[in-house]
Amino acid sequence: MLTTPPDGRAGIDASLVTRLLAAQFPQWGHLPVTPVSADGWDNRTYRLGHAMTVRLPTAEGYVPAVAKEHEWLPRLAPSLPAAVPSVLGMGVPGEGYPYPWSVRGWLPGETAAPERIADLPRFARAVGEFLLALQHCDPTGGPAAGPHSWYRGASPAHYDEETRRCLGLLEGHVDTTRARAVWDAALAARWHGRPVWFHGDIASGNLLVHGGELTAVIDFGTSGVGDPACDLVIAWTMFSGDSREAFRRTVRQDAATWARARGWALWKSLLVLSESLATDPVRAETDRRIIAEVLDDHDRFAREGAGAAG
């Protein structure tokens, strides 16, 4: 998965969006088009009037999400306890832009920065309850994990070579001996459950809050049907202490699923740390912290398992 914005972002601007709307959705062509304050990695998003947005993939790898969300979000929405994007129209390539794109309803709220949340354990429970509701949605006909989900929902083994390369690059910067043990445990903890819906990118930037409460979950571009372990990564990237335990109790997953989840968290943090180590010390420190907490979590589970066995 791309970890830095692709160069294609530079070719997308408000003028392009205005031209696309005029050509394909003239009923909305008179509305103002403005960039959103917090944009994503995979798509450029523009506010369309007061009640809509326009969302455009930045690279070919993100294109499958357009049709997937167009088909599945309306089916999933009625069963979920928080709002998800409503897709109002799907555009086609045009005006020099090579990919399909979409028009969506605007969802009010702010991204879930911890300082906007008064009760983080309660928020963690709300996120866990959303994931449980998503997993209970009918998976029949849903898109099986694969390239369209960047292999979220499949085994983390897809990223084995990349993870081991990063471990080699980070010798002396993280505890690579313990990290290899976490990664090996993730690969050994095979998933044997029934396929369920997963979001694929449950992170603070994809969770919207109002008044400190979870109100919406956005960006289902990496969603699909498969192993839900990838959706537990937020346990280390956003939660800690009481909020992590509240999330853990709510999602009610077994030890093997948590082992795979630690693998997903470790892979991404190692990858980003290897890229940011010399260029972005703030981001590097964040990923060092995530890696350290994942390693500690693995050790804790190993001790508790040994105690139970004894």
Note the CATH number of domain 111-309. 3.90.1200.10
Per-residue pLDDT band at 303 (split at 50, 70, 90):
confident
Per-residue pLDDT band at 6 (split at 50, 70, 90):
very low
> What's the Cα-to-Cα distance from 268 to each of 151, 152, 179, 237, 291, rounded to whole Å?
13, 12, 13, 11, 10
Please say if the pLDDT value at position 4 is more than 60: no
Render 148-160 in DSSP notation, one character per residue: GGTTTTS-GGGGH
Q: In the chain, count of helices (H) and strands (E)?
A: 9, 10
Q: β-strands 207-210, 196-198: how paired?
A: unpaired
Residues 6+ apart with CB under 8 A from 6: 58, 59
Render 211-278 in DSSP notation, one character per residue: TTEEEEE---TT-EEE-GGGGGTHHHHT--HHHHHHHHHHH---HHHHHHHHHHHHHHHHHHHHHHTT
Let me know if the fold of 7-106 is the same as that of 111-309.
no
- Give the mean model confidence (pLDDT) for residues 179-193: 96
Strand partners, 217: 207
pLDDT 10s digits, 273-299: 999 999 999 999 999 999 999 999 999
Q: Where do the domains of the chain lie?
A: 7-106, 111-309
Q: Where are the beta strands (DSSP E) in the chain?
A: 33-35, 43-48, 52-57, 87-91, 101-105, 110-111, 196-198, 207-210, 213-217, 224-226
Calpha distance 90→273 (Å, rounded): 36
Residues 6+ apart with CB under 8 A from 238: 112, 114, 203, 204
pLDDT 10s digits, 229-278: 999 999 999 999 999 999 999 999 999 999 999 999 999 999 999 999 99
pLDDT 10s digits, 135-147: 999 999 999 999 9
Per-residue pLDDT band at 42 (split at 50, 70, 90):
confident
Torsion angle defined by CA atoms of residues 11, 15, 20 and 26, in that order, rounded to the nearest 10 degrees = 170
The overall average pLDDT reported for the chain is 93
Q: What is the pLDDT of residue 32?
A: 97
Please say if the pLDDT value at position 309 is more than 50: no
Calpha distance 112→203 (Å, rounded): 8
Place of tokens 């956005």: 218
Note the CATH number of domain 7-106. 3.30.200.20
Give the pair of three-digit tokens for residue 131.
């994931």
Q: Using the Cα atoms of residue 48, residue 123, residue 242 and residue 257 in order, give the sign of their dihedral.
A: negative
Q: What is the pLDDT of residue 306?
A: 55
Q: What is the pLDDT of residue 9?
A: 55
> What's the Cα-to-Cα distance from 125 to each of 78, 120, 130, 157, 267, rounded to whole Å?
20, 9, 9, 29, 25
- Give the mean model confidence (pLDDT) for residues 195-217: 96
